[in-house]
Structure 1
Amino acid sequence: MRALAERYRFRDKVVWITGGGGGIGAALARDAASRGAQVAVTDIDGEAATRIANELGTHAAAWRSDVTDFADCQRVAGAIQERFGGIDVLINNAGVTHLSRFRDTPPEVIERVLRINVMGAVHCTKAALEPIIERRGRIAALSSVAGIGPLLGRTGYSASKHALHGFFDSLRAELTDTGVGVTLICPSFANTDIGKHALFADGDAESARTMTGPVTTPEAIAAALLDGIERGVWTVLPGRVSKLAWWLSRNAPRFYSARMRARLEGTR
């Protein structure tokens, strides 16, 4: 959906990936490195981030980072610039989900999801924005099918992903004259720790008991996003499920909602 004319290349670019210690983030780090990028891997789990950076070799480095703390994001952005000389690309991947009906979910659980998923992206984007503008770079964020339509049982998660679209679509418009591109990707469910360790109504992270749709791989999502960034695509819809969800949510919203409800309740 909507692409810039000139193709962007990752070779020799400095790419900051949040939530890079596993899952889609680790797949993004590996793929970006394979395209010739220098990779800054950050994660709340510093040891996991370090393992990925060590795997990638001398053109990668890792930092522990808490995206909910703006001062910490500023610290990390400064450290990345000191280590690599700048920041070209920021990929906001860090996130958390939950799996519980809204009527059973304390507001504190949804607040935590919003703080990590939305304010985490805001904090990192603000911290990296000026260096990225200087290099006419790129900003990306991991959204979801939950950001383009309803997702029953994940009201807070869906709200956070809708918020990302509002924020980054508006930011893209603000940055029109800077040469900076902004890309969102809306995958369906992936086989990653964000789904395996969803928050439940009590706020604890446990192994998720159910998925709402077909599962894809972190590697496929990573490749689709990096390809989308290179092509200047505004919104990447990887795979049949994402494209179908986008179309149905706009053209047959009642049917889409009914199918979501049927899957959540385990019926056909």
Structure 2
Amino acid sequence: MQRKVFSSKVYRHKTVLVSGGCSGIGRALALRFAQAGARLVILDLDQAALDSLVQHLEQHLNVEALGLRCDVADAAAVNAAAALAIERFGGIDVLINNAGITHRSLFVDTDLRVFQRVMAVNFYGALHCTQAALPSLLARRGQIVVLSSLTGFAPLLYRSAYNASKHALHGLFDTLRLELDGTGVSVTLACPGFTATDLRKNALLGDGSLIRQPARVLGSAVASPGDVAEAIYQGALRRKRLLVLSNVNWRARILARWFPRLFERLLVPRLSGLKPERR
């Protein structure tokens, strides 16, 4: 994707909070909004990565940044982090719900605690961050950006918990958008496809342990985090409602919606990768 260069700092004096902001799409989004002049609040679990990214933002992009170690599944921790961000910068203008984890296992082999952990991070993490930031977003007529996935509208095999969490995000934030109508706060759901991030490299197995190798995806190009972040940034500028950035593009969404059996037969096996071994 060819990047657009802006001479003006579109988000100057705006505060952008990014969850899961130290790697992958989250890091790329933090850098992109920093280039547009934003002040950054970054939530992540990796303290060393937080320190490194904050130093990079301050020294190389000359922006103010605050890195906070925070598990978004912990509502109290999220509330405390949001309070620190508001104390430091006066408020939150853009919330980017990016933090997420995945798994790769057959439903029959997936422990309940894997479902609980995936939902805790992917769904409740976004819920916690949004509840904590919403008063400030309302006061500033801000923006909410939610990282969903192509699985938000079409299923992939061996990812039942992940698929469920993304569908839940659409149910929550499509409803919230309606409730916020007239407040000046926009809600953007972004649905990237396969992207070269640690999400795919560090998936959970059915027993909750980590598989530290990416699932093989057949016949599908893998996007770079920078290109995905640029597309989301451009959508945020326009306060778009839905961004479908999937590598299998809009045709897959139409096929999944109107011809589900054909989609399931032709595309789902190819996109889902190899079947996990039974444990």
Q: 2-side partners of 1:135 and 1:114: how far apart?
A: 29
Give yes or no for contact 1:118–1:163 (8 Å, CA) kept in 2: yes
Give yes or no for contact 2:21–2:27 (8 Å, CA) kept in 1: yes
Q: 2-side partners of 1:145 and 1:249: how far apart?
A: 10
TM score, norm. by length of structure 2: 0.89
Give yes or no for contact 1:142–1:185 (8 Å, CA) kept in 2: yes
Aligned pair partner of 2:268 in 244, 250, 260: 260
Long gaps (5+) in structure 1 = 1-8
Q: CA deviation at 1:59?
A: 1.5
Q: CA deviation at 1:132?
A: 0.5
Counterpart in the other structure of 2:111: 106
Aligned pair partner of 1:143 in 139, 148, 159: 148
Quick one: structure 1 residues 248 and 64, their matched pair in 2 at CA, closer, same or farther if it must change by over 3 Å?
A: same
Report the secondary structure of 1:157's partner residue: helix
Quick one: structure 1 residues 147 and 211, their matched pair in 2 at CA, closer, same or farther if it must change by over 3 Å?
A: farther
Pair 1:119-2:124 in alignment: yes
Q: 2-side partners of 1:265 and 1:82: how far apart?
A: 46
Counterpart in the other structure of 2:26: 25
Q: Percent identity?
A: 43
Q: 1-side partners of 2:273 and 2:240: how far apart?
A: 35
Counterpart in the other structure of 1:236: 243
Counterpart in the other structure of 2:84: 79
- What is the identity, as a one-letter code, of the residue corresponding to 1:250? R
The structure 1 segments of at least 4 consecutive aligned residues displaced by more than 3 Å after TM superposition are 262-267
Counterpart in the other structure of 1:165: 170
Q: 2-side partners of 1:176 and 1:95: how far apart?
A: 27
Pair 1:46-2:75 in alignment: no
- What is the identity, as a one-letter code, of the residue corresponding to 2:52? R
- What is the identity, as a one-letter code, of the residue corresponding to 1:105? T
Deviating more after overlay: 140-149 vs 49-58: 49-58
Report the secondary structure of 1:177's partner residue: coil
Deviating more after overlay: 51-60 vs 13-22: 51-60
* Pairwise CA RMSD: 1.7
Long gaps (5+) in structure 2 = 1-9
Give yes or no for contact 1:145–1:242 (8 Å, CA) kept in 2: no
Q: How many residues align?
A: 260
Q: CA deviation at 1:207?
A: 1.8
